[in-house]
Structure 1
């Protein structure tokens, strides 16, 4: 994956250059711009940004980014030979990108149009033969044939739009990124009330409603799923969601389960379903996976996410506040390195860290995001070790250790007196 996002003067981001990898992580203080970068990746990876009739501003509104523009805002996304820019809300392409896109769209559209046009005489012939037995006059037959042609032309136009979307989905791999917002715990808490909330349009965030709707549609297809980080089982039965605990015959309604399970279960069910698709690569963007979770459970969840969300051409982007997430990412990175250096000991490594969760350092990026500061968005990966810098880990863990040492010094001084 070779994708770079450049952001200038957009909301909380003053100046940032981010290289996205198979696994990309943003950490930083509240309001620093982590979610802004994640949402911009979702906007610029979505085929609707380039091909929809409503214009690109729709997706900025969808992710609540519409107020982040100013006169000097500039966005740029490049992937391999393709580069797209957004100055304000206007999309532009460099010459090579436009040429490549137009060529693919033109060729694909010509093939489809020829196939559709070839079918019109056959339709007309069938209509005329049928019309003889229904006593239609010639003018009425001609009108029907013309109507059929008009409908076919409309279909050609609409399908051309779909062709354009398919071209962009091949360029950027995805059709629509899977954005999973931090408010996801509401999905379990409100149980089956989502249909009414969406019908009444009560103003909940659009990504949350989309997540809830997607989950509601696919949960019956999953039916049962082991949640290893909790050692419980999710069960969907008769349009209800339950949790099964070992050695407990009575099922618990999901909305009565622990908050961590409520937050994680819909997330895992949706990803389990989508990750199995071989038709289209998936871009998973997850806000704060650590919500409501004990540190060791955060680590178990991260193992699961890396395994499920990075198969094939899929990729994973997360925003986080948790230094435990960063520490565990280092473990997954180091497991890959040890196994690569000592292939004969790979099985021993896998006994400690599941093989499916190893991360190739070449396919990993992590950034500290404090967007309004000078150099506020910077990589925290040590280029020599391929791991997250331990200096950065210590800094992100806060000053509590230093402050504790200071208290020890004071205490020692008091005792000395």
Structure 2
């Protein structure tokens, strides 16, 4: 199980989390939901930076005397400072005693620390001992197998050899970190990104780094949708046998969108299911714009059998409660198909209630884990009820609420195996109390008016 510790990062003073297969964070604005999500994204991004250094050795044929672990540490440290500023908006040196520690496994851990020594601020990036040994082995492999420019053979052959070496290095680096997943951050404000579909590249400088990467991801996969959802599998060269009923899932996505999506160069449009009308995406409803690329991205990953780490901010935005529930069902189905990890931040009581129902469904299955026959029987019953395998196993789930005083509250009621959904909807009690007091005032006023009228009548 992966694990994160964060100290003195923005509004987050101290937090420690087991990063299980499914996670959910709630809380008021400015308490640190996105900060925690970004800290996880930042930590997991270290793997890609290390991988990038190895690729640099391959592409530039760096000599052995220059390709050292000291050089790797220096490059990673510089890149992490840049990445920190891009994600959090300020230099890490401005916040002393900051620490982010991420454990990929018992033998693979990274630590990013800012401390003060002798009046000087120091930024330090370190790897656990076992991880150092593994990365040193990958470094040696990259240098030893580096393809030289003067090697006999065509340019195409040289490129092929480098591609193969890159692929091998990617696999070895992932194994070093005990983590095979790429990380995708799907930010809030998705409808704005979709709305600016024809101007994304022009406006990228106005976006934060996470949104820029999200935009780049969208643009890299748009062409798979040139013939609509039904042909994505063929155009994307989907891997092997489907893990799901493709036609059924395409129909499901169309129902959620109430349309099919098509892409042509410089033009995106929806064809409405109801009457076949073609609508340019910038003129689609805000809900359609919000959900469009969440569904498209997850569906493509399912076709590719891609196991990923997904961070999704505020999935409820612009969505009617019934569609919020449907999106949660689809997200968990995606997760169970691919074995992915999902982290959600939300303000929505509907999202929390929806997740709770799938959590309870998973509890019915997990209860019989020690009995394979009983488990299979219950799984069949539960999935038939849900229509899709959107179950959420309690042992693989965590849910927390961030409090204004900096503490956290576990939302899971272990004794009854449910989520404490009231924690996100306490405002309803305040609103009801306000209504009751107003009603009492009105009632008192009405009684007083009746009494006054009776007195006048008697006189």
Distance 1:113 1:49, change over 3 A: closer
**2:197 alignment counterpart:** 191
Separation of aligned partners in 1, 2:203 and 2:406: 42
**1:134 alignment counterpart:** none
Distance 1:168 1:238, change over 3 A: closer
**1:79 alignment counterpart:** 104
Separation of aligned partners in 2, 1:311 and 1:66: 39
Give the counterpart of 1:373 among 384, 405, 410.
405
State the shift of 1:113 in Å. Answer: 4.6
Q: Does residue 107 of structure 1 match 2:107?
A: no
**1:356 alignment counterpart:** 389
**1:144 alignment counterpart:** none
State the shift of 1:403 in Å. Answer: 3.2
How many residues are paired up? 376
SS at match of 1:56: helix
TM-score (norm 1): 0.79
**1:243 alignment counterpart:** 270
1:105·1:163 contact (CA, 8 Å) conserved in 2?
A: no
2:112·2:124 contact (CA, 8 Å) conserved in 1?
A: yes
Separation of aligned partners in 2, 1:321 and 1:302: 14
Separation of aligned partners in 2, 1:298 and 1:168: 34
TM-score (norm 2): 0.72
2:23·2:399 contact (CA, 8 Å) conserved in 1?
A: yes
Separation of aligned partners in 1, 2:185 and 2:146: 36
Separation of aligned partners in 2, 1:407 and 1:48: 58
**1:293 alignment counterpart:** 319
Separation of aligned partners in 2, 1:70 and 1:362: 36
Q: Which runs of 5+ in 2 are unaligned?
A: 54-74, 115-122, 230-252, 368-373, 449-459
Separation of aligned partners in 2, 1:397 and 1:77: 37
State the shift of 1:170 in Å. Answer: 5.0
- Higher RCO structure (Cα 8 Å, ≥6 apart): 1
RMSD: 3.4
Give the counterpart of 1:392 among 417, 423, 427.
423
Give the counterpart of 2:83 among 53, 59, 68.
59
Separation of aligned partners in 2, 1:50 and 1:384: 43
Superposition pairs of residues 253-272 of structure 1, within 5 angstroms: 253-272=280-299
State the shift of 1:272 in Å. Answer: 1.9
Separation of aligned partners in 2, 1:114 and 1:50: 17
**2:222 alignment counterpart:** 219
Superposition pairs of residues 82-161 of structure 1, within 5 angstroms: 82-88=108-114, 89-93=123-127, 97-98=128-129, 100-116=130-146, 123=151
SS at match of 2:7: strand
1:3-47 per-position Cα deviation (integer Å, ceiling 9, x unaligned):
221111110111111222111111111111100000111010111
SS at match of 1:182: coil
Separation of aligned partners in 2, 1:165 and 1:40: 24
Q: Once superposed, which parts of structure 1, at least 4 consecutive aligned residues long, lie more than 6 Å away? A: 159-162
Distance 1:378 1:396, change over 3 A: farther
Separation of aligned partners in 2, 1:298 and 1:311: 20
State the shift of 1:287 in Å. Answer: 1.0
1:380·1:389 contact (CA, 8 Å) conserved in 2?
A: yes
State the shift of 1:267 in Å. Answer: 2.1
1:233·1:243 contact (CA, 8 Å) conserved in 2?
A: yes
